[in-house]
């Protein structure tokens, strides 16, 4: 079972590069592993309009799904605290980059 966080945007979610750059400024990096179900090089940039990203950290994987004007972030329920914290940083970066609102109902 996975843990989900949702960010809602007034318009389309921001590009991955905007969130990536905010994370990099904070010393946090993720590697792109899959783009829309296709394997990707770790430094590959997804197109502006993607449906699903799989981003990796040493502790595991975060799936980011686009659902209309929302992004849903999913990690395994067995993820350690470090991956949970890094996923939260990813959620905050996307929210900040696109002036989104983190759904208070998601854990």
Question: In tens digits, what is the pLDDT along the chain, a chain of 107 residues?
Answer: 578 999 999 999 999 999 999 999 999 999 999 999 999 998 899 998 899 999 998 879 999 999 999 999 999 878 888 889 999 999 999 999 999 999 987 65
Measured CA to CA in angstroms, residue 30 lies from 47, 69, 104 at distances of 17, 23, 24
Q: For residues 25 and 107, what is the distance between their CA atoms, to the nearest angstrom?
A: 25
Token couple for 38: 């296709």
CATH code matching the domain that covers 2-100, chosen among 3.30.70, 3.30.310, 3.40.720, 1.20.120:
3.30.310
Residue 1: per-residue pLDDT? 55
Beta bridge partners, 39, equal 34
Say if CB 1 and CB 77 are below 8 A apart. yes
User: Quick one: pLDDT at residue 105?
Assistant: 74
The pLDDT assigned to 69 comes to 96
pLDDT, tens digit (0-9, with 9 covering 90-100), for 30-43: 999 999 999 999 88
How far, in Å, CA of 57 to CA of 62, rounded?
8
Nearest to 54 by CA among 2, 96, 97, 107: 2
């Amino acid at each position: 079972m996975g843990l989900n966080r949702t960010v809602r945007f007034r318009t389309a979610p921001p590009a991955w590069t905007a969130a990536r750059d905010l994370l990099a400024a904070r010393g946090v990096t993720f590697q792109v592993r899959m783009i829309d179900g296709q394997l990707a090089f770790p430094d590959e940039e997804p197109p502006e309009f993607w449906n699903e990203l799989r981003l990796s950290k040493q502790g595991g994987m975060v799936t980011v799904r686009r659902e209309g004007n929302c992004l849903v972030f999913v990690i395994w329920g067995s993820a350690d605290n470090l991956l949970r914290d890094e996923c939260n940083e990813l959620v905050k970066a996307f929210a900040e980059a696109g002036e989104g609102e983190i759904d208070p109902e998601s854990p």
